[in-house]
Structure 1
Amino acid sequence: MSIKPRLSRFDLTMIVISLVIGMGIFGTPSDVAVKAGNTWIFFGAWIFGGLVSLCGALTFAEIGARYPTTGGFYKVFSYCYHPAFAFMINWVLVISNAASVAAVALLGAEYINPILLPASMQNSMGTKLTTILTVLVLYGINFLGIKLSARTQNVLTIFKAGMIVVLCTAIFKSGTVPAHGIAATPHSGNVITAFGLSLVAVFFTYTGYAQTINFGGDIINPKKNIPRSIFIGIGTVITLYLAINYAYYAVLGIGGLQQTHTLAATMAGLIFGTTGSKITSILMFISVVAYVNVNILSSPRVYYAMAEDGILPPIFKRLNPKTQVQEFGMSFFVIAILVILFFVGSFSDMLKYVMFFETIGVSVAAVAIFMLRKKTSELDTTDIYTIKWFPIIVPLIFILSYWFVTINIFISFKENPYAALFCLAAYGLGLGIYYLSVKKQREAV
């Protein structure tokens, strides 16, 4: 059974915002401050990251308009490059995405456990139990149908955006005393290196919107609604990110940012006291729930596309005709999250690995726009969305910026040379799995 379009432009806009705003913005500014070492590089990285992300959003908006299909992130690779390359890139991204979800869910549990659990259970085991329960509850909600899941996502996303607005406006509360007494630690190395390493965490915080093209088969009127949703969604995200980073800086200063990972709770504690800190911790957990939910909703669509091409077994594209849910594909992704939970160390440990795979996969997907324009040139005379100004420069800015970050991550692996080998081996393993699958198909025929 094929997927039927049931999601509106508003649904997809909320999905875009939730794919981007996870837990990152409530923690990564601390990592950016450490790498930047001063105010200019810190804000420069966030502004530059926003501009690059806007270029990326415009690029993927045109990709989504030219090639709207379920599992679009995989299908674009297969259509423009080769099915083997498509599988190699996407299978790594799906695994790293599950790892990212697991790590972010752990952070959310760390925020909520001091409020929910007694002191004796506030340990690593208690954190994992809360995380597993959260993932399973969201799994159950997603099982009830894609429309219900999208409505749940809409509520969580509006709540999350509202929380950021409240934190930003709270700095104007009378009596707030900025904690600027902590001296900032200067960056190590030269300015270019500091800027490049700052962008690793910045791009992680901005990333996610490219996965929107996975919903090409779920969206009503995708050729118009996909680009508009991406543009509105990423514009909202950039505005919120710049506002909350200014709020962090205004209250904590660069030195305070460098030494504080629970930024939102710390800032709320300074403004509203202990009660404000606890309330903010609850809101942080809700933010994590929204991020986990949207990934459970999105990632199985890639499995669907792979199964359509015969690379994965047909069971991965099996749909419940009533709910439009990929019951097996979604279950597989949730199991992957739960398995990774037993091995993942921390959010910080996973950041470099996740971003290494992400920057390569997303930038190469963006390169496909040049091939897609040639393959779908007949659409140029229609009313689909295309990049109007600087149609070559805009994608190039995005692609080259991501490659710059990839090089900086690769250089940072010198502290652990086996990390780079692990990343490259993951791609090699994906290629091997693809050709093994093709060989079995031929033997079956």
Structure 2
Amino acid sequence: MKEKTQGNLRIGTEAEPKPALGLTDAIAVIVGIVIGAGIFRTPSLVAANSGSVGIFLLTWVLGGVVSLIGALSYAELTTTFPNTGGDYYFLRRAYGKRLAFLFAWARMSVIQTGSIALLSFIIGDYLTQIYTLGEFSPVIYASLVVIVLTGINIVGVKVGTGTQKVLTTVEVLGILIITGAGFFFAPEQAGASSIASDTSGQTNSLGLAMVFVLLTFGGWNEAAYISGELRSGRKGMAIALVAGIILITIIYLLINLAYLNVLGLSGMAQSDAVAGDLMRITFGEGGVLLIGVLVAVSALTSANATIFTGARTNYALGRDFPLFGILGKWNEQTSSPVNAFIVQGFISLALISLGLLTRNGFATMIEYTAPVFWFFFLLVGVALFILRRKEPDRERPFRVPLYPVTPLIFCLSSAYLLYSSLVYTGLGALVGVGVLAVGVILLLVLPAIDRKIAARSDKAKEAVPKSL
């Protein structure tokens, strides 16, 4: 609890985040965000762009390596500058208040809320296959996901992280079931020999394959938003990041080996739902139902973690900019930014409505979020270099190894994915960039708005009786 003062006058108290998360909480958030529905969709695209099994597996190993390099860079930033604002705070220290505002605006209106809507659409699509609610069933399910998970996180940090650990556990157990099915229940005709069979139809585009792989690995950086709430201290965040990425890479390799064992590389490349095809071959139609539930749970896990971390940036935005001051209120009883959760939920519901209009919610949200996300991801990587120069005497409990090579690789990979997200996407990307442009306009008028709000605040203070 931080006490506000005006001169010698105490005018109230303001709640602030407290260390309430354990190391397992942080790892659960990282694993829960990254291992989402992507691992059930992208392997077929990776296989279609891999000329051999060796290249296919290499892309997943490289995805883990690149993610680990990025995590090491983030580990330095999060341990040196632990703050609930995460990327927002790093950008603010490196580039100043204006660029930080633009990022917070993008995260609130494009990146985080778009991701929440995307994941909710995945859940809606799969639940509709199990039980339809009518013509707009996916949208109804998606909207319910946002409302229910937002409500759970508003109740409090312990409920939110507890839900996250349960969902992550179910998700990992489900993936282990698929992996076990692929290794131990595959028919003889789909045995190990299929791994090396018929790869003549595949192309050999390592770069394009890596785009899909790195998208599947995306999301580990969200741990930065809980760095100020971790009980195990600064080094604990570095451990959580590295351990999370290693665990995710192992899981991805195992499940892809299971896919190969049942379908072979060619079969994967021709499949629109590799996990569904694997379960159909091993367990029949009942397996298809099981995978539908699993994909929904996986997306639900990521959605809950994304909602949990997203509100933290909105809270930081409200703390720094009077125009959005309503977002900067921290509820001490629930240990959560309640207003930030509510606003984030409404924006996510609006984006779900946008998906309804385009009739292809999942694809629209990918296009909408990708370019803006990778643009700021690149800027965070560059921020590490800037902060090393601006604050050389700052205590750094963890220093990224092999500096400057390691963060440079991180920046180059982010730049490549920014390029790819602009080249391979369509109208949705233009809408996302357009929303970012609205933030630029707000940035231009922000000083004048802040001055007016500050003037009103000064008048209100002057109106307080001196006898108080």
TM-score (norm 1): 0.89
TM superposition shift of 1:79? 0.6
* Partner of residue 27, structure 1: 41
1:220 counterpart SS class? coil
Give the % identical residues.
27
Q: 2:418 aligns with which of 406, 410, 431?
A: 406
Aligned pairs (5 A) from 1:115-194 = 115-117=130-132, 121=133, 123=135, 125-174=136-185, 176=187, 177-178=189-190, 185-187=201-203, 194=205
* Partner of residue 97, structure 1: 112
- Confirm or deny that 1:427 pairs with 2:442: no
TM superposition shift of 1:423? 4.9
Structure 1 residue runs of 5 or longer lacking an equivalent are none
Structure 2 residue runs of 5 or longer lacking an equivalent are 1-14, 456-468
TM superposition shift of 1:33? 2.7
* Partner of residue 230, structure 2: 219
1:378 counterpart SS class? coil
* Partner of residue 7, structure 1: 21
Letter in 2 for 1:108: I
Q: 1:437 to 1:221 in 2, by over 3 A?
A: farther
Letter in 2 for 1:86: A
Report the number of matched residues: 430
* Partner of residue 303, structure 1: 314
* Partner of residue 465, structure 2: none
* Partner of residue 244, structure 2: 233
Letter in 2 for 1:12: A
In 1, Cα distance between the equivalents of 2:104 and 2:302?
20
1:313 counterpart SS class? helix
In 2, Cα distance between the equivalents of 1:23 and 1:53?
18
Q: 1:174 to 1:218 in 2, by over 3 A?
A: closer
* Partner of residue 395, structure 1: 407
1:3 counterpart SS class? coil
> Is the 8 Å Cα contact of residues 18 and 294 (structure 1) preserved in structure 2?
yes
TM superposition shift of 1:184? 6.3
TM superposition shift of 1:73? 1.1
- CA-to-aligned-CA distance 1:174-205 (integer Å, 9 cap, x gap): 55242969876443xxx5xx322222221111
Aligned pairs (5 A) from 1:362-377 = 362-377=377-392
> Is the 8 Å Cα contact of residues 248 and 263 (structure 1) preserved in structure 2?
yes
Letter in 1 for 2:126: Y
In 1, Cα distance between the equivalents of 2:255 and 2:391?
40
> Is the 8 Å Cα contact of residues 365 and 428 (structure 2) preserved in structure 1?
no
2:183 counterpart SS class? coil
Q: 1:83 to 1:48 in 2, by over 3 A?
A: same
TM superposition shift of 1:90? 3.4
1:69 counterpart SS class? coil
In 2, Cα distance between the equivalents of 1:96 and 1:265?
29
Q: 1:90 to 1:185 in 2, by over 3 A?
A: farther
* Partner of residue 353, structure 2: 342
TM superposition shift of 1:261? 3.0
TM superposition shift of 1:412? 3.2
* Partner of residue 290, structure 1: 301
TM superposition shift of 1:420? 6.3
In 2, Cα distance between the equivalents of 1:282 and 1:249?
22
* Partner of residue 330, structure 1: 341
2:276 counterpart SS class? helix
- CA-to-aligned-CA distance 1:122-148 (integer Å, 9 cap, x gap): 64x112112222222212211210111
In 2, Cα distance between the equivalents of 1:225 and 1:63?
13
TM superposition shift of 1:339? 1.2
TM superposition shift of 1:166? 2.3
In 1, Cα distance between the equivalents of 2:185 and 2:275?
19
Q: 1:103 to 1:420 in 2, by over 3 A?
A: closer
* Partner of residue 261, structure 2: 250
Letter in 1 for 2:345: V
RMSD: 2.3
> Is the 8 Å Cα contact of residues 114 and 351 (structure 2) preserved in structure 1?
yes
> Is the 8 Å Cα contact of residues 106 and 372 (structure 2) preserved in structure 1?
yes
Letter in 2 for 1:275: G
2:402 counterpart SS class? coil
* Partner of residue 106, structure 1: 121
